[in-house]
């Protein structure tokens, strides 16, 4: 065989061997890279899930803390109202026993419990086995003066208190309530509230939730009454309205699964979301902590640590579900308020991150596979073409292909160890360079996506918590105690505001400018959300402050308009109706800043729109002027003012409620009481809109003038 042929065969053999070696090495490198990339992805996803989970729990820990602080303060303030009422009543009772002779000529005539009406009033009974004597009747006459403090306390706290009562060592039971159940076997001095207060005088005693003698869940505060010699002669007590307690404590929570519960000093449950259902299901209390919590002893330790500043929010198992919770102490009682949210709600966004990461990785893996195929084909063509210089090609290919791939593999391993910032330095103009640049881009995308998702999730939770707080603050600013001025018999006044889902800008207000003049305000701020709520607070404050300085409604609106125009870069505005009503004459002086026409009930006892002349909206133009006008209300006459949420309420067919339907509802009222016709208008609006969403606040004020003393006597 000729040398040339041998050289050709040798070169062919060398070429085939070189191709096999190169392809074998390349295949091994590619396989290793694919495995490393898969491992990297799993590590990245696990790390991202862990990082996001930590961020979500940190964010929810802050939100739970804020919510717990707010609910603790609300609950503490309401319980302090109860304890203050009991303490003040006990002090008043001690004055009675210190000087009984001064109170024998009481103007109060006590009624026996068995004969008492079912309305809020005072009534008494004697303990079983106690014989009625002259001394006992005399003590009862002195004790009846307790109505002087019981009556106002119960009227102004009827939603918080079920009843106020006092029991004496002699066997008298005197209470202020609307419940007239007569219990023949009732012994005052043997009741828990009496025994606990008598055993610990000089302080308020709180009895945690129990089933009272009426068969209802009850929370009781009591305090001993001592005579001048220091002997306990009576005990004053109050029962908390348990349903209101449940509404205030359990009424709001974080997210969709948030819940709140209260633990007593004994660490049994005082209140929780399913308390009433459990009482019915178990025919009694089902409030033992260990009946609801797994590993109750350890959970109680964490609750104590969290409530007293030694621990952070933690995980627990409540009624078979995992929760994330925090706790705060209620100072007035020593009870603990706990706020929780289901753990699965906290981690819900992680699933979205994982799904998006899987899609990104699948796209990147497909691109890498195509690049690898193209690389192999090009390598094969290059090897065949340069077969004559196989030794040089073998070295070139090894250096050109293998080295960049190894570098890229090292970069992949570094990224798998958590280094997102160390990029591949390969900058060749072939497929390996494209692969490296594609991998670098994938790193940036994954890092950016993870950071953006954490930021967006945290911002969403923050905004949600702030909107809940803003909604509550906005509602709390409006006067909600009716009747607002019990001493003013000339008027019957009622107002309501039904907010839309989003924080809005409607508000109403009423206040006495002086002894004979009542200011009525109703307004609607442009826009929605927190900006509208803030502008509403400013507007409400400016109007009231200016009105208290005197002047006509037009003068007041003009001054407030100028103040609101200053620095109004957001270009917000307010429609407002302001009236000042003379309680003695029935004359209403009013002015309108672009607000809805009021409805007035005249001598024919029918409501009609009063087409007043509108001024420009507040904060719309500095220097705007407004016009006063007067409406003379007759005895029994009424006025009704409202925001556009009433006539513009829309049903599922996009039809508006309108002023005609509003007037029909007003004129169909069952009696002239302000609460009645406002309630009936609200009911008609609700029935009209049906299942359609409420897009605007529905706000109304109604007032009926009963006349002054001279007209009432006619």
3-state secondary structure 16-68: HHHHHHHHHHHHHHHHHHHHHHHHHHHHHHHHHHHHHHHHHHHHHHHHHHHHH
What token pair was written down for 162? 């079920």
Class of domain 99-241: alpha beta
pLDDT at 260: 84
Q: Which residue has the higher pLDDT, 369 or 681?
A: 681
Contacts of 2 (CB under 8 A, 6+ apart): none
Residue with tokens 């001054």: 559
pLDDT of residue 240: 86
The predicted structure's pLDDT at residue 185: 86
Task: Kindly report which listed range (190-194, 526-530, 533-537) carries the lowest average pLDDT score.
Answer: 526-530
Q: Is the peptide bond before 483 cis (omega within 30 degrees of 0)?
A: yes
pLDDT of 158 above 80: no
In this prediction, residue 75 carries a pLDDT of 82
Q: For the residues of 380-409, what is the DSSP string, one character each?
A: HHHHHHTGGGHHHHHHHHIIIIIHHHHHHH
The mean pLDDT value for 443-463 works out to: 71
pLDDT (average), residues 408-419? 70
Tell me the pLDDT tens digit for each residue of 469-522.
666 666 677 898 999 999 999 999 999 998 876 666 789 999 999 999 999 999
Q: Which residue has the higher pLDDT, 306 or 442?
A: 306
- Spatial distance between the Cα atoms of 616 and 624, rounded to a whole number of angstroms: 7
Least confident segment among 146-155, 365-374, 411-420 = 411-420
Q: How far apart are CA 258 and CA 255, in angstroms?
A: 6
524 vs 462, residue with greater confidence: 524
- Which of 3-7, 75-79, 626-630 has the highest mean predicted lDDT (pLDDT)? 626-630
171-176-178 Cα angle (round to 5): 120
Residues 479-712: name the CATH superfamily. Answer: PPM-type phosphatase domain (3.60.40.10)
Average pLDDT of the residues in 149-165? 86
- Given this model, what pLDDT does residue 262 score? 87
Grouping H, G, I as helix, E, B as strand and the rest as coil, residue 287 is coil
Percent share of the chain, pLDDT over 90: 39
Which is nearest to 33 in space by CA: 397, 425, 420, 415? 415
β-pair partners for 630: 589
Tell me the three-class secondary structure of 455-488, residue by residue.
Answer: HHHHHHHHHHHHHHHHHHHHHHHCCCCCCCCCCC
> Which of 123, 331, 91 lies closest to 223, judged by CA?
91
Q: What is the arithmetic mean of pLDDT over 317-331? A: 88
Same topology between domain 253-342 and domain 479-712: no
- Tokens standing for residue 206: 């709180």
Indicate if the alpha-carbon torsion angle 278, 280, 285, 291 is positive or negative: negative
Specify the pLDDT at position 46.
67
The CATH-assigned architecture of domain 253-342 is 2-Layer Sandwich (3.30)
pLDDT at 393: 64
- Beta strands at 491-498 and 232-240: parallel, antiparallel or unpaired: unpaired
**Residue 6 reports pLDDT greater than 60:** no
Residue 714 has pLDDT above 60, yes or no: no
Q: Chain-wide mean pLDDT for the chain?
A: 83
Q: What per-residue confidence (pLDDT) applies to 235?
A: 96
Task: State residue 3's pLDDT score.
Answer: 46
Q: Mean pLDDT, to the nearest integer, of 200-225?
A: 84
Residue 433 CA to residue 373 CA, distance in Å, equals 15
Residue 691 CB-half CA count within 13 A: 0
* Each residue's pLDDT tens digit, 237-261: 998 877 776 676 665 666 677 788 8
Task: Say if residue 338's pLDDT is above 60.
Answer: yes
Report which listed range, 249-258, 596-605, 641-650, is most confident.
641-650
| Residue ranges covered by each domain of the chain | 3-74+348-453, 99-241, 253-342, 479-712
Residues 6+ apart with CB under 8 A from 221: 79, 82, 83, 86, 204, 205, 206, 207, 237, 238, 240
The Cα 638–Cα 600 span in angstroms is 6
Q: What is the mean pLDDT of residues 47-63?
A: 65
What is the rounded CA–CA span in Å between residue 322 and residue 302?
Answer: 15
Helix (H, G, I), strand (E, B) or coil at 122: strand
| In the predicted structure, residue 713 carries a pLDDT above the cut 60 | no
Q: What is the pLDDT of residue 710?
A: 53
Specify the pLDDT at position 403: 66
Instruction: Choose from 334-343, 395-404, 637-646 the range with maximum mean pLDDT.
Output: 637-646
Question: What are the backbone angles phi and psi of residue 611, rounded to the nearest 5°?
Answer: -80, 80
């Amino acid at each position: 065989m000729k040398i040339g042929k041998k050289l050709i065969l040798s070169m062919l053999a060398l070429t085939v061997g070189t191709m096999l070696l190169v392809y074998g090495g390349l295949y091994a490198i590619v396989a290793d890279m694919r495995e490393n990339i898969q491992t990297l992805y799993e590590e990245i996803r696990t790390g991202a899930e862990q990082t996001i989970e930590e961020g979500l729990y940190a964010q929810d820990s802050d939100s739970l803390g804020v919510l717990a602080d707010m609910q603790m303060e609300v609950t503490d303030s309401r319980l302090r109202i109860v304890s203050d009422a009991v303490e003040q009543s006990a002090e008043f009772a001690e004055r009675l026993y210190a000087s009984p002779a001064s109170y024998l000529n009481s103007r109060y005539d006590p009624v026996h419990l068995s004969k008492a009406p079912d309305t809020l009033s005072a009534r008494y009974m004697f303990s079983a086995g106690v014989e009625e004597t002259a001394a006992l009747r005399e003590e009862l006459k002195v004790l009846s003066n307790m109505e002087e403090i019981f009556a106002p306390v119960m009227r102004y706290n009827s939603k918080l208190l079920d009843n106020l009562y006092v029991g004496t060592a002699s066997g008298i039971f005197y209470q202020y309530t609307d419940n007239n159940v007569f219990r023949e076997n009732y012994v005052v001095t043997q009741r828990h509230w009496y025994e606990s207060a008598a055993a610990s005088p000089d302080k308020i005693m709180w009895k945690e939730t129990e089933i009272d003698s009426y068969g209802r869940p009850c929370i009781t505060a009591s305090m001993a009454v001592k005579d001048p010699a220091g002997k306990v002669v009576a005990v004053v007590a109050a029962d908390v309205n348990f349903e209101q307690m449940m509404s205030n404590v359990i009424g709001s929570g974080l997210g969709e699964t948030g819940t709140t519960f209260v633990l007593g000093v004994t660490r049994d449950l005082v209140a929780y979301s399913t308390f009433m259902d459990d009482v019915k299901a178990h025919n009694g209390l089902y409030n033992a902590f260990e009946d609801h919590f797994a590993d109750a002893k350890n959970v109680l330790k964490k609750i104590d640590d969290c409530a007293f500043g030694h621990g952070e929010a933690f995980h627990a198992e409540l009624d078979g579900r995992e929760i994330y919770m925090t706790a705060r102490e209620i100072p007035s009682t020593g009870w603990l308020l706990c706020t929780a949210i289901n753990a699965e709600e906290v981690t819900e966004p992680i699933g979205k991150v994982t799904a998006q990461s899987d899609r990104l990785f699948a796209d990147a893996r497909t691109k890498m596979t195509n690049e690898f195929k193209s690389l192999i084909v090009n390598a094969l063509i290059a090897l065949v073409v340069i077969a004559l210089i196989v030794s040089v090609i073998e070295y070139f290919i090894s250096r050109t292909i293998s080295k960049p791939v190894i570098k890229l593999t090292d970069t992949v391993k570094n990224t798998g160890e958590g280094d997102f910032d160390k990029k591949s330095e390969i900058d060749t103009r072939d497929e390996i360079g494209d692969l490296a640049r594609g991998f670098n881009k994938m790193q940036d995308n994954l890092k950016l996506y993870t950071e953006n998702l954490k930021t967006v999730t945290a911002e969403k939770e923050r905004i949600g918590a702030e909107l809940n707080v803003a909604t509550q603050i906005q509602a709390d600013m409006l006067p909600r105690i009716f009747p607002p001025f019990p001493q003013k018999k000339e008027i019957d006044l009622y107002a309501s505001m039904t907010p839309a889902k989003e924080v809005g800008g409607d508000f109403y207000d009423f206040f006495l400018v002086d002894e004979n003049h009542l200011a009525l305000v109703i307004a609607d701020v442009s826009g929605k959300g927190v900006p509208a709520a803030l502008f509403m607070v400013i507007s409400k404050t400016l109007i009231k402050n200016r009105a208290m300085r005197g002047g006509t409604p037009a003068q007041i609106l003009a001054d407030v308009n100028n103040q609101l125009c200053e620095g109004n870069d957001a270009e917000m505005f307010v429609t407002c109706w302001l009236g000042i009503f003379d309680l003695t004459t029935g004359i209403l002086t009013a002015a309108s800043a672009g607000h809805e026409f009021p409805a007035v009930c005249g001598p024919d006892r029918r409501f009609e729109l009063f087409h007043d002349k509108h001024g420009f909206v507040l904060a719309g133009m500095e220097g705007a002027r407004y016009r006063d006008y007067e409406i003379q209300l007759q005895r029994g006459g009424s006025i009704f003012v409202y925001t556009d949420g009433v006539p513009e309420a829309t049903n599922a067919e996009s039809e508006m409620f309108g002023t005609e339907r509003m007037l029909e509802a007003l004129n169909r009222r069952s009696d002239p009481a302000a609460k009645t016709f406002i309630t009936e208008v609200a009911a008609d609006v609700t029935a009209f809109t049906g299942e359609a969403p409420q897009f605007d606040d529905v706000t109304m004020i109604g007032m009926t003038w009963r006349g002054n003393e001279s007209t009432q006597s006619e």
